[in-house]
């Protein structure tokens, strides 16, 4: 009897010990999980916005968060260094894994980042843009995002943007010499131009900051310290919209197809803002014939073999491009030559014609890409793919009637023609 009850006591003790061990394991796990979200405004896998000025463009393997390790789920198989051949991209609905839009996408990542130039006051307008880019693409890829400003970003801006971006966020303040008048500019002459443009009601004609912005985007964003270790960028502005799912990685598409510059909208530039830009370009072409590509897109820019500029340009508020190309001697020689001529201040040269002319003259035709499947809006123009099936496949929410591509003021038809490309289904009904 005594031996029997001792046995029961032993069973009870074993059971109690077992329960205690289980309780301890579960509880300690919860403590670790909670601790990763104790820094306000941060998300697992992000650096704290208050301290994050470090450079760690990792090609974004950052989807593997602590949480994944603790719950011992299989680690997402993505990041730099994986063999692309093992992870073919789904480019059409017929390709396997086309419909796999949940979770983090397996496969290689490019050394790439989103980049946004913004003021603190742009916070809610850029929040809208980020949310759409994340929902339509980046939540599955977790690429980094670099924010640049001529003033320090405030904590609100950092907190809100970091909470929305799925990759790492970095915040950079632009050096004075990249956001000011170069010494050779005659201040009196530049002032008179602004006054005259104000009278003629030319958009942003009297603005100094807009001119610094255009010069910065033309010549300096790609050589900011935070951008130096990346190979590709995707420019995102406040208040833009993405209307369709992006099923594949456009950075990887650029890399694998040797594309250096891309666009979704093109149009004619306001003549009043660039009266002498083409003269400067012709001077550059004469001084640097070595930088002009043989199979270039001069026919996109000029209807008379280069004598006159037809004002066509790619709209640079959307760009996915190669940073190494912008940092090349060809592009930097081009920018330096234009900058010396002073038109960023004596006129109001925009970064869109500057990038576009450079791409059209110094890249081979097939290094420039039109992303028909990235549907996009920046006031006041929309790129919405023609072709009902494509829009349904991509779950687009744009009104096809808003598509600007085939209207008279767009240059996209010209791009198609000079490249011998077949226009997409439904284009001919959209010409007016």
Ligand X SMILES: Nc1nc2c(ncn2[C@@H]2O[C@H](COP(=O)(O)OP(=O)(O)O)[C@@H](O)[C@H]2O)c(=O)[nH]1
Binding part of the chain for ligand X, among 6-14, 114-122, 161-169, 419-427 by CB under 6 A, reads 114-122
Say whether residue 265 binds ligand X (CB under 6 A).
Answer: no
Give the total of residues touching Mg ion (CB under 5 A): 2
Q: How far is the CB of 249 from ligand X (least distance, A)?
A: 23
Residue 56 contacts ligand X per CB under 6 A:
no
In angstroms, what is the minimal distance from the CB of 238 to ligand X?
Answer: 5
Question: Quick check: 122 binds ligand X (CB under 6 A)?
Answer: yes
Binding to Mg ion by CB under 5 A, coded x per residue (else -) over 312-351, reads -----x----------------------------------
Residue 363 CA to residue 261 CA, distance in Å, equals 9
Instruction: Select the residue interacting with ligand X from 64, 118, 227, 244 (CB under 6 A).
Output: 118
Residue 432 has which token pair?
Answer: 């007016």
Burial classification of residue 271, based on how many CB atoms lie within 10 Å of its CB (0-12 exposed, 13-18 middle, 19 or more buried): exposed
C-beta closer to ligand X: residue 201 or 286: 201
7 exposed, middle or buried (CB, 10 Å; 0-12, 13-18, 19+)? exposed
Interface with Mg ion includes 237 (CB under 5 A)?
yes
DSSP 120: G
Indicate which of Mg ion, ligand X, none lies near residue 288 (CB less than 5 to 8 Å, by partner kind): none
| String marking each residue 214-253 x if it binds ligand X according to CB under 6 A | -----------------------xx---------------
Q: Whose CA is closest to 165, among 236, 109, 97, 221?
A: 236
Question: Could you tell me the smallest distance in angstroms from the CB atom of residue 356 to Mg ion?
Answer: 16
Q: Which is nearer to ligand X, 216 or 334 (CB)?
A: 216
266 binds ligand X (CB under 6 A): no
Give the pair of three-digit tokens for residue 421.
């490309």
Helices (H) and strands (E) in the chain, counts: 15, 14
What are the φ/ψ torsions at residue 306 (nearest 5 degrees)? Answer: 120, -5
Query: In which element (H, E) is residue 411 found?
Result: none
Cα 42-45-47 angle, rounded to 5 deg: 55
Active site residue 319: yes
In the complex, least distance from residue 72 CB atom to Mg ion, rounded to whole angstroms: 45
The partner in contact with residue 219, picked from ligand X, Mg ion, none with C-beta cut-offs of 5 to 8 angstroms by kind, is none
150 contacts which partner out of Mg ion, ligand X, none, CB within 5 to 8 A by kind? ligand X
407 is in the binding site of which of ligand X, Mg ion, none (Cβ under 5 to 8 A by kind)?
none
Catalytic site residue from 319, 347, 417, 425? 319
DSSP string, 76-113: P-EETT--GGGS----STTSTTTT--SSPPPEE--SEE
Q: Which of 28, 35, 199, 209 binds ligand X (CB under 6 A)?
A: 209
Minimum CB–partner distance for residue 149 and ligand X (Å):
4
* Environment class of 354 (CB within 10 Å of its CB; exposed 0-12, middle 13-18, buried 19+): buried
Give the residue with the Cβ less far from Mg ion, 237 or 272: 237
Taking the complex as a whole, the smallest distance from the CB of residue 282 to ligand X amounts, in Å, to 26
Dist. CA 124–CA 127, nearest whole Å: 5
Residue 96 Ramachandran class (φ > 0 left, ψ -120 to 50 alpha, else beta): beta
**Considering only residues 144-163, where is the footprint of ligand X by CB under 6 A?**
149-150
Closer CB to ligand X, residue 240 or residue 338?
Answer: 240
Here the tokens at position 320 are: 């996915």
Instruction: Tell me the C-alpha distance between 153 and 46, whole Å.
Output: 17
The span from the CA of 375 to the CA of 272, in Å, is 30
Closest residue to ligand X: CB criterion? 209
Binding site for ligand X (CB under 6 A): 117-119, 122, 149-150, 209, 213, 237-238, 317
Residues that bind Mg ion (CB under 5 A): 237, 317
Could you give the residue numbers annotated as active site? Answer: 319
């Amino acid at each position: 009897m005594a031996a029997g009850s001792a046995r029961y006591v032993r069973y009870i003790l074993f059971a109690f010990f077992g329960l205690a061990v289980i309780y301890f394991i579960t509880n300690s796990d919860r403590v670790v999980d909670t601790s990763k979200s104790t820094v306000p405004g941060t998300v697992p896998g992000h650096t704290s916005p208050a301290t994050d000025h470090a450079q760690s463009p990792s090609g974004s393997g950052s989807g593997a968060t602590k949480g994944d390790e603790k719950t011992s789920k299989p680690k997402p198989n993505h990041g730099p260094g994986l063999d692309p051949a093992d992870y073919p991209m789904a480019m059409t609905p017929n390709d396997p894994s086309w419909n796999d839009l949940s979770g983090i996408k397996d496969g290689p990542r490019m050394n790439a980042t989103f980049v946004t130039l913004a003021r603190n006051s742009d916070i809610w307008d850029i929040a809208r843009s980020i949310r759409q880019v994340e929902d339509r693409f980046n939540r599955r890829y977790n690429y980094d995002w670099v924010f640049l400003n001529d003033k320090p970003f405030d904590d609100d801006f950092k907190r809100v943007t970091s909470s929305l971006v799925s990759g790492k966020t970095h915040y950079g303040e632009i050096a004075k010499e990249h956001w000011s008048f170069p010494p050779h500019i005659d201040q009196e002459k530049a002032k008179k131009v602004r006054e005259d443009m104000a009278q003629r009601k030319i958009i942003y004609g009297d603005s100094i900051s807009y001119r610094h912005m255009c010069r910065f985007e033309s010549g300096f964003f790609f050589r900011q310290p935070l951008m130096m270790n990346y190979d590709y960028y995707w420019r995102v502005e406040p208040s833009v919209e993405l209307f369709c799912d992006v099923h594949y990685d456009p950075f990887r598409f650029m890399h694998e197809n040797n594309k250096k510059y891309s666009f979704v909208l093109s149009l004619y530039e306001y003549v009043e803002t660039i009266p002498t830009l083409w003269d400067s370009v012709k001077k550059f072409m004469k001084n640097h014939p070595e930088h002009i590509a043989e199979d270039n897109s001069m026919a996109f820019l000029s209807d008379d073999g280069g004598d006159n500029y037809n004002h066509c340009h790619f709209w640079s508020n959307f760009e996915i491009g190669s940073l190494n190309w912008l940092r090349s001697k060809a592009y930097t020689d081009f920018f330096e030559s234009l900058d010396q001529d002073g038109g960023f201040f004596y006129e109001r040269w925009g970064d869109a014609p500057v990038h576009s002319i450079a791409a059209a003259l110094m890249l081979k035709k097939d290094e420039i890409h039109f992303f028909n499947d990235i549907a996009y809006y920046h006031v006041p123009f929309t790129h919405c793919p023609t072709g009902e099936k494509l829009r349904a496949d991509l779950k687009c929410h744009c009104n096809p009637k808003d598509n600007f591509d085939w209207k008279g003021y767009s240059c996209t038809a010209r791009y198609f023609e000079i490249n011998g490309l077949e226009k997409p289904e439904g284009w001919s009904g959209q010409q007016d």
